[in-house]
Amino acid sequence: MTAWRLLVTEATDGATNMAIDEALLAGRQAGTSPATTRFYAWDPPTVSLGYGQPLDRHVDVVACRALGIGLVRRLTGGSAIYHDGPERELTYSVVASAADVGTPDLLETYRWIGRALLRGLTEIGAPAEMIPVTDGAGPTPAFCFARTGRYEIEVAGRKLVGSAQRRQGGCFLQHGAVVLGVDEPRLRALFPTTADPLSTMTSLEASLGRRPSFDECAAALRSGFETEHGLDLQPGGLDEEEMRAVERLVTERYGTVAWLQSEDRPRGLRSPRPRPAGVGDGRRT
């Protein structure tokens, strides 16, 4: 079996969650971090915007403030996702190199991860399937779950997992939301121009007739990765270098208004240069 790190982190704010994912990617690219599968949640609940997505009327910023919901911009592309707390969502991320998964192809990487997700979700009884091809017609919706991409997971034609990927050199980060349950009033308030967000999405609660816990879902997905790909996911934590990188990224990027508000970003994005530890974190966005 191939050893990977399993990282299960406590629920935290959006800036920190996105900084951890990027720190893992930078570490894997530098060869200082192992291939890692991570499961995590959000506190407070947060809307994450795609890397190049405008912060405009399609996401109601006033409603976010009124409901105590955070806002953050991801490193990955795609459309906005509302990340509820651990009672209603599990977020996964996979950080690895092309050699770790046996393919340099972007779509094959999506498929590799999708197979593991599908194996885990079917273990807890979800009648899920992986969608290999979509026509991609029409404009990109503001709400991620309004359209299914290639090798994403659906139940009865409705999207259950929303994912996005970023590639740097020979390494990639893919993360996505597994919906345990849905707070419909909040979705409607946060995405006022999405006519009926529930028409294109579903949850494990709706599929199973019960809502699995975060821990149950995490255990099933761990099993899915191990069984499908012969991995040995060994529990671990962030090392000191990764923790310093997280602090820098929160302070210089994900916790800043400039990063949140601007969708005009260079393609060759690189992590900030090292800074002394102990700087203010600016986590809330």
Q: How far apart are CA 218 and CA 22, in angstroms?
A: 21
Q: Is 47 helix (H, G, I), strand (E, B) or coil?
A: strand
Cα-atom radius of gyration of the chain, to the nearest Å?
18
Query: Can you tell me which residue has the tokens 């007739």?
Result: 209
For residue 52 the two structure tokens come to 């190049």
Pairing relationship of beta strands 36-40 and 231-235 according to DSSP bridges: unpaired
Select which of 64, 144, 171, 217 is catalytic.
144
Q: How far apart are CA 154 and CA 147, in angstroms?
A: 11
79-118 as b/e: b if 16+ CB within 10 A: bbbbbbbbebbbbbbbbbebebbeeeeeeebbbbbbbbbb
171 classed as catalytic: no
**For residue 120, what are the CA distances in angstroms to 67, 153, 221, 243?**
33, 11, 4, 29
Are the CB atoms for 45 and 12 separated by under 8 Å? no
**For residue 1, what are the CA distances in angstroms to 36, 49, 118, 228, 230?**
15, 36, 20, 11, 5
Q: How far apart are CA 103 and CA 81, in angstroms?
A: 28
Are the CB atoms for 2 and 31 separated by under 8 Å? no
Which residues are part of the catalytic machinery? 144
